[in-house]
Amino acid sequence: MYRTNTCGELRLCNAGQQVTLSGWVQKARKMGGMTFIDLRDRYGITQLVVDGGASSELVELASSVGREWVLQVVGTVVERQSKNPKMETGEIEISVSEIKVLNKANTPPFTIEDESDGGEELRAKYRYLDLRRNPLQKALKLRHQIAHQVRNFLNDQNFLEIETPYLIKSTPEGARDFVVPSRMNPGQFYALPQSPQTFKQLLMVAGYDRYFQIVRCFRDEDLRADRQPEFTQIDCEMAFVEQEDVLNTFEDLMRTLFKNVLNVDIPASIPRMSWYDAMDYYGSDKPDIRFDMRICEITSLVQGFGFSVFDSVEYVGAINVTGGASYTRKQTDELTEWVKRPQVGAKGLVYIKYNEDGSIKSSIDKFYTPEQLQVVLSKAGAQKGDMLLVLCGAKRKTQNMLGVLRIEMGNRLGLRDPFNFAPLWVVDFPLVEWDDETGRFYAMHHPFTAPKPEHLELFYSDKKEDLERVCANAYDFVLNGTELGGGSIRIHEAEMQQRMFEVLGISKEDAEYKFGFIINAFKFGAPPHGGLAFGFDRICALFGGQETIRDYIAFPKNNQGRDVMIDSPSKIDDTQMEELFLESTFNENQLK
Amino acid sequence: MYRTNTCGELRLCNAGQQVTLSGWVQKARKMGGMTFIDLRDRYGITQLVVDGGASSELVELASSVGREWVLQVVGTVVERQSKNPKMETGEIEISVSEIKVLNKANTPPFTIEDESDGGEELRAKYRYLDLRRNPLQKALKLRHQIAHQVRNFLNDQNFLEIETPYLIKSTPEGARDFVVPSRMNPGQFYALPQSPQTFKQLLMVAGYDRYFQIVRCFRDEDLRADRQPEFTQIDCEMAFVEQEDVLNTFEDLMRTLFKNVLNVDIPASIPRMSWYDAMDYYGSDKPDIRFDMRICEITSLVQGFGFSVFDSVEYVGAINVTGGASYTRKQTDELTEWVKRPQVGAKGLVYIKYNEDGSIKSSIDKFYTPEQLQVVLSKAGAQKGDMLLVLCGAKRKTQNMLGVLRIEMGNRLGLRDPFNFAPLWVVDFPLVEWDDETGRFYAMHHPFTAPKPEHLELFYSDKKEDLERVCANAYDFVLNGTELGGGSIRIHEAEMQQRMFEVLGISKEDAEYKFGFIINAFKFGAPPHGGLAFGFDRICALFGGQETIRDYIAFPKNNQGRDVMIDSPSKIDDTQMEELFLESTFNENQLK
């Protein structure tokens, strides 16, 4: 062992002990005849001191060390003259008698501090140096702790962690698969799993009852911000359960995580909201309920007064900005520009201010009397000093824009403290949604989600409008406006599964080819079952008070799906291509 | 919830309680006017009884249920008249008042019993039914328990579980990589990791100190028996440690596993054996030390007496078969045939029997006097009644054959009880081994293993014979003749790593292209570090008393790397190929 203690461990009560420490030089400085070195490891920082009375070799060596050198030092713990209350080891220092340089270090390309001076690209290239920084060490430690707590909780609840294969079968329904050519089966490919969905259902058929797995999943999507081609799920499934059982089990899990990891108490019962209410009142299937500011439909209150913009649309809705009456013209103009950006896509923004003196000022004053506007203000619950922001257009699209505007106003008003945690279940999702472009239904959750028993008649109807009304016992766990997980009660009957594929326009042959094994499995005694999956990376990020997941993954990829540290993906040898019976049709010039 | 209790839970003390159970029909039978149904779930089997006094609907339903149907039943716990002491629930049965068929089942293609009547291929195709069998349920539960114990132990020891990426870079050194074409980076490929070796070393450079991960690894090898293209490792690495620290830490881990999972005590200190001794005395780098029967070199004792077979070879060695003198001619002939099979490859077998009456009988009697043979017997420690089996040829090759023969004799003599656990560390491996075919050195462990500090001079020598003598601080954990894990102290200096690549005949350019990131990382303050990886599948199998890993993996692949249940690998859509800029050069006719 290269050390007797870590750099985060020694306290005043250790004074007088001879110790050996190993670690990295955080910084070194000379003061008078003394050299001070801050030695760092995963556990903390301890100050070393080499005083003028030491041998000249030692003094020389101490003054030669550079940032990030790796040292082993022997010395005695002594009480500091000037204590540093900000450091956990700040009451002591090590009076050094021996230094051994375990490894020298080039000067790092950026500072290894809480706030680094390195740009994102540079830090990605030297990820192993970036990972030395405190915020990242804390992030990965948090990740470990959460995983450990999850496993302990689920183990205590009789769940078994069962590993499912990574080399599976390509089933191009949903996102794009990564594929893996098989050398032993030439011309054929495995696929990497987008989730272990079918395998966990087969485990239920196999009688395993309570399954979980913290498992990597893969999606070959064009990467939007904060998406990774590989990501980790907490994947769970239970047999002989109804929706209520699943929700209760995983509420308990989340409650335990919040308590044991963050020492935060979340409500004894997490609120539930139907998907329809979420869309109507928050313009989002993942409402941030840390603040109210619900969307209020005012269509009937503003139509028929001759304002053609409102008269011609399906829907008019408003949010109430508390204290917004004091916004200047410049501010409302800026907000108007903000909603007109392509990311939001509104055509314009109407405001209605309810001034402190009771007067009303709006951008539609010439079309409405104050009395007519007063009705709108009342409906939206505006108080004196508030301001309504109004958008109009097609219903869901407008609600969605209002939802985006609501989040923006929440940010601007400081209503979105990352350490205020407001969990929510969104329930009663539609089973399928129609896509105009391809002229078919898509599964809202996935093709294995069961319709609600009370909607079975609609499910077997041939009418599009009936199918659109079918709801599922599907549920999402939402935290602070982010979907952290979701699941459903599954289909467990072969015949119903076949009907689902039919609804989705998947031919019998195609369904048989892609999902034959699971339809077949359902014929041999499948129990009722359901489950869910949490996005583990995102749980870690939110628990850490961050919105982006990248710092909670040890070795993430960039937006082009590249690992710039190892420079991957890369070309492979011709012999590898030949063994796989593959040729690339890609011509580099195509890119130029 | 579909049940109040599981099928393994109810006891006499529950008599009188009304309960609801759900599960599968193990079997149903009629006796007199009564119908008995054994209802099974993961937790056990409970007997249901529908007596003649029940409603005719219930009686009819009960008598119509088939094997593997899924039922939900309501009834009362009653004391059995004829108790079954072999069943944990054997003192009670459920007097059924209600049955609900949750799902019917086709007749399973094989019996769901401890010993199934289904062939391997059939059971693989219906893996979800095979997984219902008790031995497999126990195997996967054992696997879960071991993983859980590993995680708890390592967490308690301050190890962090850190996930490393699955989409990495192809580095064709060692086994063949599975590769993954990148759509976003056309013409380029990721590789699936054979192990997270370089990443865990980078985590040490990054200061994480104690890392572990239970992680999937991938090797595109031609599959020998009991190899899987994807397998699971317990992967560990520590910084600021020497070999002794690593061995102690993981001895403690294994001791904890044996105790907590199997309630078995293994020695307080696990024996250690050098690689050279393992080869010399056991003809194997993974000796089974449950029994002695060590290989004894007798070259000098048998050469020079005119027996040209022995005189012309490098090496003559023997093993002593206790009680073997009673072997008949037929038995020794059969053994001779056995060693001559291509799997062993010996040219012949010499025996020397030391009869109970003190006489000596051998197959080389005409070349040696009894006195000369007596010297051999004494050297090999043979007692009256024993028999030596002798092989000769090139040294290592012959030792290897003797090792194989030793294992066979151990099996025949019943010396290899799977529940007698004899762990062993094999240490002091050579750093590199020469391959005549390619005319270059290969790393015995892997290219990141450090030479022993006392062998550094040899390591920098240009002479082949010097390099062959370099030893590494590398170690394998061996249990009952199976290598369960291995590791080493790593190189942590860029210059030494470059020298290692040079020794391995990897050009500077090639090393830079493939491993540049790690050589570079070593320049920024790499700590001394080392670690090891255990084969998790194999640990599970051995803990379960089995030699093959297949039943300890939920969804294994067959010897062609195929998952016959989901029929994978398979062809992918043309559009997928086009998006990946790939064409297959494989012509189906090539196979015909």
> What integer pLDDT is reported at residue B422 of this predicted model?
97
Residue B129 has pLDDT above 60, yes or no: yes
B279-336: per-residue pLDDT in tens?
999 999 999 999 999 999 999 999 999 999 999 999 999 999 999 999 999 999 999 9
Q: Is the confidence at residue A268, as pLDDT, over 60?
A: yes
Q: What's the pLDDT score for residue B172?
A: 61
**Are residues B170 and A585, on separate chains, in Cβ contact within 8 Å?**
no
Q: What's the fold here for domain B12-103?
A: OB fold (Dihydrolipoamide Acetyltransferase, E2P) (2.40.50)
For residue B221 the two structure tokens come to 């090898």
Q: CA-CA distance, A374 to B513, in Å (whole number)?
A: 71
CA distance A250 to chain B (A): 14
Share above pLDDT 90 across residues of chain B, in percent, rounded to a whole number:
91
Q: What pLDDT band is residue B591 in, cutting at 50, 70 and 90?
A: low
> A161 forms bridges with which residues in the sheet?
A212
State pLDDT tens for residues A90-145.
Answer: 999 999 999 999 999 999 999 999 999 999 999 999 999 999 999 999 999 999 99
For chain A, say whether B177 makes contact (Cβ under 8 Å).
yes
Residue-wise pLDDT for B361-395, tens only, equals: 999 999 999 999 999 999 999 999 999 999 999 99
pLDDT band at A573 (very low <50, low <70, confident <90, very high): confident
Residues of A in contact with B572 (CB under 8 A): 170, 172, 179, 189, 191
| Cα B79 from Cα B17, distance rounded (Å) | 11
Instruction: Among A224-233, A303-312, B105-114, B191-200, name the one with the lowest average pLDDT.
Output: A224-233
Chain B, 534 to 563: residues with Cβ < 8 Å from chain A are 553-555, 557, 560-563
- Residue A53: what pLDDT? 87
**Least Cα separation, residue B75 to chain A (angstroms):** 17
At B299, the amino acid letter reads T
- The length of chain B in residues reads 592
Average pLDDT over residues B4-22: 98
pLDDT at B277: 98
Would you place residue B590 in the very low, low, confident or very high pLDDT band (cuts 50, 70, 90)? low
Q: How many CA atoms lie within 13 A of A549 on its CB side?
A: 23
CB atoms within 10 A of CB A469: 14
CB-based contact B103 A576, cutoff 8 Å: no
Q: How far is CA B197 from the centre of its chain?
A: 20
Given a cut of 60, whether residue A592 has pLDDT beyond it is no
Q: Do the chains contact at A147 and B161, CB–CB below 8 Å?
A: yes
- Report the percent of chain B where pLDDT is more than 70: 99
Across A380-390, average pLDDT: 97
Pure H helices in B108-266: 120-125, 127-130, 134-156, 197-205, 243-257
**pLDDT tens digit sequence for B225-235:** 788 999 999 99
Q: How far is B356 from chain A (nearest CA, A)?
A: 55
Contacts of B104 (CB under 8 A, 6+ apart): A525, B66, B69, B70
- For residue A196, say if its preceding peptide bond is cis, omega within 30 degrees of 0: no
Q: Is the pLDDT of residue A591 over 60?
A: no
pLDDT average, residue stretch A43-50 = 97
Q: Which residues in chain A are contacts of B131 at CB distance < 8 A?
A: 203, 206-208
The pTM (predicted TM-score) of the whole model is 0.96
- The one-letter code for the residue type at B502 is E
Among the partner residues B151, B517, B554, nearest to A203 by beta-carbon distance = B554
Put simply, the chain A residues between 96 and 125 with a CB less than 8 A from any chain B CB are: 102-106, 108
CA distance B560 to chain A (A): 7
Q: Which among A147, A160, A565 has CB closest to B140? A: A160
* CA–CA–CA angle A367, A372, A378 (5° rounding): 135
Nearest Cβ partner of A526 from B103, B141, B162? B103
Go through A247-259 and write b for each residue having 16 or more CB atoms within 10 A of its CB, e for each that does not. Answer: bebbbebbbbbbe
Tell me which long-range contacts A95-99 makes (C-beta under 8 A, separation of at least 24). Answer: A95/A49, A95/A51, A96/A37, A96/A48, A96/A49, A96/A50, A96/A54, A96/A58, A96/A62, A97/A54, A97/A58, A98/A58, A98/A73, A98/A74, A99/A50, A99/A58, A99/A61, A99/A62, A99/A65, A99/A71, A99/A72, A99/A73
Q: Given this model, what pLDDT does residue B173 score? A: 64
Chain B residue closest in CA terms to A212: B144
Q: Are B470 and B451 in contact (CB under 8 A)?
A: yes
Contact B126, B99 (CB under 8 A): no
Question: Does the distance separating the beta carbons of A182 and B569 come in below 8 Å?
Answer: yes
**Does the distance separating the beta carbons of B102 and A206 come in below 8 Å?**
no
Average pLDDT over residues A430-452: 94
Beta carbon pairs, A and B, within 8 Å: 368
Distance from C-alpha of A268 to C-alpha of B531, rounded to nearest angstrom? 44
Nearest Cα residue to B556 out of A167, A161, A266: A167
Flag if A566 and B168 touch (Cβ within 8 Å): yes
What is the total residue count of chain A? 592
Mark yes or no for CB contact B179/A572 under 8 Å: yes
User: What's the pLDDT at A226?
Assistant: 82
ipTM score for this prediction: 0.95
In this complex, do A525 and B177 lie within 8 Å of one another by their Cβ atoms? no
CA angle B208, B209, B214 (to 5 degrees): 80
Average pLDDT over chain B reads: 95
In degrees rounded to 5, what are phi and psi of residue B563?
-95, 105
B42 burial type by CB count under 10 A (0-12 exposed, 13-18 middle, 19+ buried): buried
For residue B527, give the nearest of A101, A134, A109, A65 by alpha carbon: A101
Share the mean pLDDT of chain A: 95
Mutate to test the interface with A, among B5, B74, B189, B567 (most CBs of A within 10 A): B189
Residues forming beta bridges with residue B103, ordered by sequence position: B70
**Measured distance CA(B397)–CA(B378) in Å, rounded:** 24
Considering only CB atoms, which chain A residues are within 8 Å of B555?
164-165, 199, 202
CATH no., domain B291-412: 3.30.1360.30
Looking at beta carbons, which residues of chain B come within 8 Å of A591? 186
The C-alpha atoms of residue B279 and residue B399 are separated, in whole angstroms, by 7
Q: Where are the domains of chain B?
A: 12-103, 137-166+176-273+422-428+473-553, 291-412
Q: How confident is the model at residue B418 (pLDDT cuts 50, 70, 90)?
A: very high
Residue A44, min C-alpha distance to chain B (Å)? 11
Kindly indicate the confidence band of residue A589, based on its pLDDT and cuts at 50, 70 and 90. low
Phi and psi dihedrals of B289, rounded to 5?
A: -100, 20
Q: Is B304 helix (H, G, I), strand (E, B) or coil?
A: coil
Binary contact (A164, B555; C-beta < 8 A):
yes
Question: Residue A492's pLDDT is what?
Answer: 96
Judged against a pLDDT cut of 90, whether residue B547 lies above it is answered with no
> Is A33's pLDDT higher than 90?
no
Determine the CATH number of domain A137-166+176-273+422-428+473-553: 3.30.930.10
Under an 8 A CB cutoff, do B240 and A170 touch?
no
Of A103, A205, A241, the CB nearest to B128: A205
pLDDT of residue A94: 98
- Residues of chain A numbered 240-259 and touching chain B (CB < 8 Å): 240-242, 245
pLDDT of residue A590: 62
- pLDDT above 70: residue A172: no
Separation CA A175–CA B85 (nearest Å): 54
Residues in chain A with CB shorter than 8 Å from the CB of B179 are 180-181, 572, 576, 580
What tens digit of pLDDT does each residue of A442-489 get? 999 999 999 999 999 999 999 999 999 999 999 999 999 999 999 999
Asked whether residue B167 carries a pLDDT value surpassing 90, the answer given is: yes
B212 touches chain A (CB under 8 A): no
Place B74 in a pLDDT band, splitting at 50, 70 and 90. Answer: very high
Give per-residue pLDDT as tens, B462-483.
999 999 999 999 999 999 999 9
